[in-house]
Chain A
């Protein structure tokens, strides 16, 4: 079946630190992979996506590369800001998941000034 595993939080970093949030997946076929962000009290926003192996998604300084050989889609940012504090969700969508998003549990990121 399809599943997504992401690192447990909270992750606490200082401003300007390098960020990595790990995400690995299990899926048959060729899923699309997504990162969503949820700021406090708000809905989920699509942060970035990749639809095939070796694609790199990027947005707002965040990047993630679709690695089929390691079934991973780790989220990275070179220099985090306090405003990046949020919960980050990794997800996949596959034709054989009946177009449902399969979610990771979410990782809470706390950036201290």
Chain B
């Protein structure tokens, strides 16, 4: 059971570089989410997709873009990385209100 799979697991970028974080789920969930977690802090929602074909901004969307490629995949793009985007990024998917959300293992991103 793969669940939610994120790639890569680790990444170091230079300021100004771009990259895309990939996320795929095999649970046929409608909703998918991208969060960031900074040291000693909770989760902050960057973007979410309530269903295929829709995306909405979360709490901290600036500097990020997303694509819901199909029902399985939801990618997060940093167009011009900044040191303030150094964080751990989590992708999650949800089957709805009663099921909660399931998380990937995270991508540890460092921007130097």
Residues from chain A with a CB closer than 8 A to the CB of B104 are 43
Binds B, one of A16-24, A71-79, A103-111: A103-111
What CA separation (Å) do A91 and B105 show in the bound complex?
A: 19
> Digit string of B91-105 for contact with A (CB within 8 Å is 1, else 0)?
010101111111111
Interface-centre pick from A31, A45, A99, A106 (highest chain B CB count, 10 A) = A99
A44 touches B103 (CB 8 A): yes
Partner of A93, one of B42, B43, B100: B100
What CA separation (Å) do A67 and B106 show in the bound complex?
A: 33
Residues from chain B with a CB closer than 8 A to the CB of A89 are 42-43
What CA separation (Å) do A26 and B97 show in the bound complex?
A: 16
A98 within 8 A of B: yes
> Digit string of A35-64 for contact with B (CB within 8 Å is 1, else 0)?
000000011111001010000000000000
Residues from chain B with a CB closer than 8 A to the CB of A100 are 33, 45, 48, 58
Given A32-B100, A89-B43, 16 further pairs, Cβ under 8 A: A34-B100, A42-B106, A43-B90, A43-B105, A43-B106, A46-B102, A91-B100, A93-B94, A93-B100, A95-B97, A98-B50, A99-B94, A99-B97, A100-B48, A104-B42, A105-B42
